[in-house]
Amino acid sequence: MRVAVFPGSFDPITLGHFDIVERAYPLFDKIIIAIGQNSQKKYMFSLEQRMEFIRKTFKDFPNIEVDHFEGLTIDYCHSKNVNFILRGLRNPADFEFEKAIAQTNRELTRENKIETIFLLTSSGKSFISSSIVREIISFKGNYELLVPDAVRV
């Protein structure tokens, strides 16, 4: 069974995230959208809110699971017996950053390789990031065009 983990903080989930998952959906038997918790990071939305946003966004996708984890993504993947990590790329800077992480993960998982699958975000969504959305929300701007309906609070 081909299962991929799509890790991230999803604070909040954006239409860019949705684009990646929607296009990856036919490639895998199951996708686990896994919210990583970083104790050093301050989130705008609680873990429960972020999980609910994702559940509602993908309610019509039966082979999508929503979960959360602490620690290394590769350790989480091993705990779920997953061999694929799904990542979206918006720009060349994303590629360089994600490439280094993917190569490190491969090195750390020599016996049980975890492959990272990169998808380019669709051009109309490549400018969207959670940090931009949070900034717009904090200044009471029109963020609704950048997020799935479930996030429109």
Q: What is the pLDDT of residues 43-98, one digit of tens each?
A: 999 999 999 999 999 999 999 999 999 999 999 999 999 999 999 998 888 888 88
pLDDT (mean) for 123-130: 89
**Binding residue ranges for substrate:** 9, 41, 73, 87
Instruction: Answer yes or no: is pLDDT of 109 > 80.
Output: no
140: left (phi over 0), alpha (psi -120 to 50) or beta: left
Q: What is the CATH number of the domain that holds 122?
A: 3.40.50.620
Three-state secondary structure readout of 84-99: EEEEEECCHHHHHHHH
Which residue do the tokens 């990590």 mark?
Answer: 85
pLDDT of residue 93: 83
Domain extent, residue 44, equals 1-149
Instruction: Answer yes or no: is pLDDT of 110 > 80.
Output: no
Q: Which residues are catalytic?
A: 17, 41, 90, 130
- Of 5-14, 15-24, 125-134, give the lowest mean pLDDT range: 125-134
* Triad 101, 97, 69: Cα angle to 5°: 50
**Binding residue ranges:** 9-10, 17, 41, 73, 87-90, 98, 125-131
| Domain count across the chain | 1
Instruction: Answer yes or no: is pLDDT of 125 > 70.
Output: yes
Give the pTM: 0.92
